[in-house]
Amino acid sequence: MAVSVDAAGNLRGTLAGADPGKRVFVMGSHLDTVRDAGAFDGILGVVLAIAIAGNYPLNRLPFDLEVIGFSEEEGVRFGVPFIGSRAVVGLLDEPTLNRTDAAGISMAQAIRDFGLDPSRLPDAAFRTTPLGFLEIHIEQGPVLDNAAEPVAIVEAIAGQTRASVKFIGSANHAGTTPMPLRRDSLAAAAQWIAAVEHIAQSTPGLVATNGKINVQPNASNVIAGEATLSLDVRHDKDEARNRACEDLRRAAAGIARQRGLEMAWTDLLNQAAVRMDGSLTKALSSVAPSARRMVSGAGHDAMILAPHIPSAMLFLRSPGGISHHPAESVLPGDVDLALEIGCRFIESIGIEYK
């Protein structure tokens, strides 16, 4: 393959087809993961895509086959995910590049520090619209494992809302401030966390998570003056997700008002639910007829590409439903099957465009 790294840090390899440069089909997934994670989230899809490409000699397919290892899919450093896949569809804008990490380093500067040139980001975008995109990924959940099924075809990816919610009260001495006179931001945060769980449990198909909290001044003998929480809300129907977010915002405002606090809500991500391409999903089903169809609760690069490029996804089971953890694993037989399905799928696309 002809290999390069684009200005967004995506690792790209192209296997030339019968008419190089005319048409291209894309496969891949992401190279990064979260801290203290496992070895398969994202990277398995990159390795499988390379293995599928390895089945074909140069100039055999009626299109070029491009494998992309996307950079910064998780969004851990800058609070915005899908940096690499945004770049290949031309969606990496100036406000995103100006976002800073915890150390105050901007995304544009981080790109420079890596030895790349952010002014070249337009070159990372596809020059012509690819024929399609296939992403193979571990499920990252327990559905397939509980059903004792090796693979599934993804029909849609749930929409996501990410927000930062801050309760602002008054820091004061823990021993000298009577309970009725306190403006405790951490107590307000705890009350709201319970409300988040209740609202999520009351909405079928919704998941909502407070995964991170920062408390100031974070001392055992001081009432918390500020508490900042992360919020992650997901549903495969945008209307249900947006309605839940409004309920959560009202709940946070009500708790703050009741306790004499201020509340600040900052939206970080509003990613619409995305359906996979019907024709490619049908082609995937034709080579994996026994595979169930399901919705992905996790976000993937495919959800960024799908509005611009026909896209399909194949899931492998996650033993124990474990992901984003060192115990994350796959079964060799499932990997063999995914490789076989991927090769059959590319063969079927090849026949269509021959």
Chain segment 197-253, per-residue pLDDT in tens: 999 999 999 999 999 999 999 999 999 999 999 999 999 999 999 999 999 999 999
The band of 184, judged by pLDDT with boundaries at 50, 70 and 90, is: very high
Chain segment 36-65, per-residue pLDDT in tens: 999 999 999 999 999 999 999 989 999 999
Percent of the chain with pLDDT over 90: 96
* H or E segment and range at residue 315: strand 311-316
- CA–CA distances in Å: residue 206 to residues 96, 200, 203: 28, 6, 6
Q: Which CATH code of 3.40.50.1980, 3.90.1150.10, 3.30.70.360, 3.50.50.60 fits the domain covering 159-271?
A: 3.30.70.360
The band of 79, judged by pLDDT with boundaries at 50, 70 and 90, is: confident
Domains 2-158+273-352 and 159-271 belong to one CATH topology: no
Give, in degrees to the nearest 5, the angle at Cα 235 between 232 and 236: 140
Average pLDDT over residues 130-155: 97
The CATH H-level (homologous superfamily) assignment of domain 2-158+273-352 is Zn peptidases (3.40.630.10)
User: Domain coordinates of the chain in residue numbers?
Assistant: 2-158+273-352, 159-271
Question: Residue 271 has what pLDDT?
Answer: 84
**Cβ–Cβ under 8 Å, residues 101 and 95:** no
